[in-house]
């Protein structure tokens, strides 16, 4: 049993002086501490001055590039992409795996028990399995030039999926990621989408991240191939990313559109009616100078919104609590109002919202009886805490490393031991 000053179930009201009972990896009771019968032989952990929450879900990151923290910070985005391509091409598999392992440790220390990791190699698979972290590994595929052999690229993708499956456990699944509308052409997008549907795989795609992306889709800028070292041969759709994906049938349940910074109301409505989800990465968007995603506009329209950090190559360090603070502050700055978004809404995005976006919500994302015991314990700031300010106190006042991260009842990270 875990006893704390506050239990924040996320899908229910906070509980003062609460407790969560765990048995065989599942949550069996959530209630004020004195009302839960303690089974014989139950091990009790008390965390005074702390709150327990659902373990955080980092719904978008790139562990493959962990060896390149903050690489090229301050470069214009497409110059940054070229630098990242060149640097990653000269990174050894051993160096990449070692850095990814260290980043996985940082995730656990920040209360994360599930991630959605996107990359061309999937090196995170055995690392996450070893650490006990769950989630989805999205294998990226590229091909926009009409000269690209798409069948060969899809064959290589299928081979990587087969190889990766042999290294995973039941808590990890595989998805595919045609990287973006400016690196995956219309034919590859169609083929990848058909493959995902036929094999019941989730699909994620970087969408409407930058102005440069829109300019390239509109035919106002050439698309430069980093592998061919020349401009690609393709026919721009001359429309915006969300409308483009909609026209190709890629807006549907099971699809995660990452970023969605530059979208208008019609596109938000398209996302809402399609059942596709959105994952925002506000800190990365701010550091790259892209802008601020319309977080609350998406939520108000009924779009499922999750929260991700993006990769260390963009943000330097992966910290979901810091990402929540960025999401809160930037949305209020965007709308110039302190009432624009609540800490509760941000907390929902980092937990149940991310779980829904990745199709994990029946298992995790909230503290409910019957769900997996995926929990994080954070230290609270000192002072007067009550039902009206406990969620802001967590989002604004808690910090990494957390006191404990648990998945399926197994402690994956523990800081200061409870008395």
Residue 72 sits in the same domain as residue 83: yes
Let me know if residue 31 belongs to a domain: yes
Let me know if residue 240 belongs to a domain: yes
Q: Do residues 164 and 137 make contact, with C-beta atoms less than 8 angstroms apart?
A: yes
- The boundaries of the domain holding residue 77 are 56-357
Q: Residue 356 belongs to what H/E stretch? A: helix 354-357
Please report the pLDDT score of residue 116 as a whole number: 98
> Taking Cα atoms as reference points, which of 412, 313, 329, 369 lies closest to residue 26?
369
Let me know if residue 362 belongs to a domain: no
Please identify, among 357, 377, 405, the residue that sits at the C-terminal boundary of a domain: 357
Average pLDDT for residues 125-154, to the nearest whole number?
Answer: 95
Please identify, among 313, 337, 357, the residue that sits at the C-terminal boundary of a domain: 357
Residue 344 sits in the same domain as residue 286: yes
Residue 99 sits in the same domain as residue 7: no
Residue 125 sits in the same domain as residue 232: yes
* CATH number of the domain residue 389 falls in: 2.30.40.10
Let me know if residue 419 belongs to a domain: no
Q: Do residues 262 and 215 make contact, with C-beta atoms less than 8 angstroms apart?
A: no
Residue 42 sits in the same domain as residue 69: no
Let me know if residue 67 belongs to a domain: yes
Residue 249 sits in the same domain as residue 294: yes
Residue 180 sits in the same domain as residue 319: yes
Residue 300 sits in the same domain as residue 381: no
Burial 50-81 (b: 16+ CB within 10 A, else e): bbbbbbbbbbbbbbbbbbbbebbeeeebbebb
The mean pLDDT value of the chain amounts to 95
Check whether 418 has a pLDDT greater than 50. no
pLDDT single digits (tens) 161-176: 999 998 888 899 999 9
Please report the pLDDT score of residue 416 as a whole number: 65
Interaxial angle between packed helices 124-131 and 93-109, expressed in degrees from 0 to 180 and rounded to the nearest 10: 40
Residue 131 sits in the same domain as residue 206: yes
> Taking Cα atoms as reference points, which of 221, 139, 145, 233 lies closest to residue 183?
145
Residue 270 sits in the same domain as residue 318: yes
Burial of 84 (0-12, 13-18, 19+ CB in 10 A): buried
pLDDT single digits (tens) 226-236: 888 999 999 99
Enter the pTM of the model: 0.96
Please report the pLDDT score of residue 227 as a whole number: 86
Judged by average pLDDT, the poorest of 190-194, 292-296, 396-400 is 396-400
The total number of residues shown for the chain amounts to: 419
Residue 285 sits in the same domain as residue 380: no
As for how many domains the chain has, the answer is: 2
Let me know if residue 77 belongs to a domain: yes
Give the whole-angstrom CA distance, residue 5 versus residue 235: 59
Let me know if residue 164 belongs to a domain: yes
pLDDT single digits (tens) 321-335: 999 999 999 999 999
Residue 92 sits in the same domain as residue 199: yes
pLDDT single digits (tens) 56-98: 999 999 999 999 999 999 999 999 999 999 999 999 999 999 9
- What's 324's DSSP letter? H
Please identify, among 357, 380, 400, the residue that sits at the C-terminal boundary of a domain: 357
Let me know if residue 150 belongs to a domain: yes
Check whether 419 has a pLDDT greater than 50. no
The answer for residues whose C-beta is within 8 angstroms of residue 104's C-beta and 6 or more apart is 63, 124, 127, 128, 131, 133
């Amino acid at each position: 049993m875990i006893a704390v000053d506050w239990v924040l179930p996320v899908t229910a009201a906070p509980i003062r002086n609460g407790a969560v009972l765990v048995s065989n990896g599942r949550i069996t009771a959530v209630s004020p501490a004195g009302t839960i019968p303690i089974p014989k032989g139950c091990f009790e952990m008390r965390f005074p001055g702390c709150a327990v929450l659902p373990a955080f879900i980092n719904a978008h990151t790139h562990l493959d590039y962990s060896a390149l923290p903050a690489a090229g910070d301050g470069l214009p985005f497409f110059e940054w992409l070229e630098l990242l391509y060149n640097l990653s091409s000269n990174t050894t598999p051993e160096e990449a795996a070692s850095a990814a392992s260290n980043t996985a440790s940082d995730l656990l220390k920040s209360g994360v028990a599930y991630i959605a990791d996107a990359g061309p190699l999937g090196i995170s698979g055995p690392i996450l399995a070893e650490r006990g972290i769950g989630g989805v590994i999205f294998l990226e595929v590229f091909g926009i030039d009409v000269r690209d052999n798409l069948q060969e690229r899809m064959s290589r993708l299928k081979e990587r999926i087969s190889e990766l499956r042999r290294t995973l456990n039941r808590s990890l699944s595989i998805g595919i990621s045609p990287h973006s509308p400016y690196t995956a052409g219309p034919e590859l997008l169609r083929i990848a989408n058909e493959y995902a549907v036929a094999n019941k795989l989730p699909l994620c795609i970087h969408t409407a991240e930058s102005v440069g992306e829109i300019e390239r889709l509109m035919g106002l800028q050439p698309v430069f191939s980093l592998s061919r070292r020349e401009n690609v041969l393709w026919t721009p759709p001359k429309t915006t990313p969300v409308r483009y994906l909609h026209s190709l049938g890629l807006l549907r349940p099971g699809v995660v559109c990452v970023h969605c910074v530059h979208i208008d109301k019609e596109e938000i409505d398209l996302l809402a009616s399609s059942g596709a989800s959105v994952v925002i990465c506000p800190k990365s968007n701010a550091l790259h100078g892209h802008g601020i995603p319309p977080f609350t506009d998406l939520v108000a329209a009924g779009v499922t919104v999750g929260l991700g950090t993006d990769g260390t190559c963009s943000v330097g360090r992966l910290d979901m609590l810091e990402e929540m603070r960025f999401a809160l502050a930037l949305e209020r700055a965007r709308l110039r109002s302190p009432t624009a978004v609540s800490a509760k809404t941000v907390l929902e995005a980092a937990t149940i919202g991310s779980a829904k976006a990745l199709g994990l919500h029946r298992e995790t994302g909230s503290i409910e009886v019957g769900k997996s015991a995926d929990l994080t314990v954070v230290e609270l700031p000192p002072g007067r805490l009550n039902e009206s300010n406990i969620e802001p106190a967590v989002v604004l006042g808690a910090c990494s490393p957390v006191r404990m991260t648990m998945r399926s009842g197994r402690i994956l990270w523990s800081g200061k031991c409870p008395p």
